[in-house]
Amino acid sequence: MKKALGFLVIVSFMFLLIIHTTDEVSAEGSARSDSESDWEWPVIGELTDHFGTRGGNHYGVDIAAPSGSEVRVVEDGTVKKSYYSTSYGHVVFVRHVNGLETVYAHLSERLVPKGKQVKRGTIIGTVGNTGNSHGNHLHFEVHEGEWNAHKTKAVDPVVYFDQTLERVTVEAETIETASTMKSNKSEVTVQKGDTLWGIANEYGVTVDTIKEWNHLKTDLIVVGQTLNVLK
């Protein structure tokens, strides 16, 4: 009888130990899932350029949005840099607890200083056209480790978002489509240095809208070409 009782005690102890261990694993898994949960986009606008374009020399994504649009940090972290660069313009670098570093460039203004602790969703600046930029947009980068001048740790930011790319463009297009209906059609002659995105940004419409208006199959335009737009 004593042996049987002792056996039951041991079995009960092992059962409780397994449950406790499972709970710890589950709790740890939940915490890890929360800390690595998908991000929200730093600004709502039109995704105009992807990672890896320009011969592999584009190390982030470009999101066009009206000047002054709020730019929010994608995850908790610490502002590592906040300064003006001839290339990035007004730029903010944020280091996150998971080792990632995010970059928010071409801002019209910076609203956080170096060393500031920021929470996910904190407004850290506004969309602008500073530095080596053509049109109001946010240039956003993600680095798996500390940023370096050669950007060897840069990765495609899109993989960290749970939103489809369509979400970034649809909200902007809804606004833009309404605004384009208020005006009459006009003609624009392509000048040296013009890009389809630059013209679209100037007239407050999307690249796809201009392509649709002019029956274009690619983003390629040439000097002297005439484009129909709604001004």
- Looking at mean pLDDT, say which of 50-64, 156-170, 182-196, 206-220 comes out highest: 50-64
- Say whether both 104 and 199 belong to one domain: no
- Look up the domain containing 217 and give its range: 183-230
pLDDT mean over 1-13: 49
The domain that holds 203 is classified in CATH as 3.10.350.10
Q: Is residue 29 part of a domain?
A: no
Shared domain for 160 and 187, answered yes or no, is: no
152 lies in the same domain as 190 = no
**pLDDT per residue as tens digits for the range 102-154:** 999 999 999 999 999 999 999 999 999 999 998 999 999 999 999 999 999 99
pLDDT for the residue numbered 30:
28
Write the DSSP string, 113-166: -TT-EE-TT-EEEEEB--SS-SSSEEEEEEESSS--TT-TTEE-GGGGBSS-HH
Q: Is residue 33 part of a domain?
A: no
Same domain membership, residue 90 and residue 201: no
Is the Cα torsion angle 14, 15, 20, 26 positive or negative in sign?
A: positive
Asked whether residue 18 is assigned to any structural domain, the reply reads no
Domain boundary among 165, 193, 208: 165
* pLDDT the model gives residue 208: 82
Whether residue 160 is contained in a domain is answered as: yes
Same domain, 159 and 188: no
3-class DSSP state of 228: strand
- Specify if 143 maps to a domain: yes
Radius of gyration (C-alpha) of the chain in whole angstroms: 25
CATH of the domain at 97: 2.70.70.10
Let me know if residue 21 belongs to a domain: no
Question: 70 and 161 share a domain?
Answer: yes
Round to the nearest angstrom and report the end-to-end CA distance of the chain: 94
User: What is the average per-residue pLDDT within 41-63?
Assistant: 89
Range in 9-13, 28-32, 148-152, 207-211 the model is least confident about: 28-32
Tally Cβ neighbours within 10 Å of residue 128.
Answer: 23
Mean predicted confidence (pLDDT) in 164-190 = 52
Q: Is residue 13 part of a domain?
A: no
CB 67 within 8 A of CB 144: no
Confidence (pLDDT) at 185: 63
Does 154 share its domain with 61? yes
Structure tokens at 87: 């290339």
Among 133, 165, 197, give the residue marking a domain's end. Answer: 165
Residue 83 lies in a domain: yes
pTM, full prediction: 0.59
With 80 as the cut, is the pLDDT of residue 23 above it?
no
| Residue 75 confidence (pLDDT) | 94
Q: Structurally, how many domains does the chain consist of?
A: 2
**pLDDT confidence tier of residue 76, bands split at 50, 70 and 90:** very high
150 vs 154: CA distance, rounded Å: 9
Q: What is the mean pLDDT of residues 22-50?
A: 58
The answer to whether residues 82 and 118 belong to one domain is yes
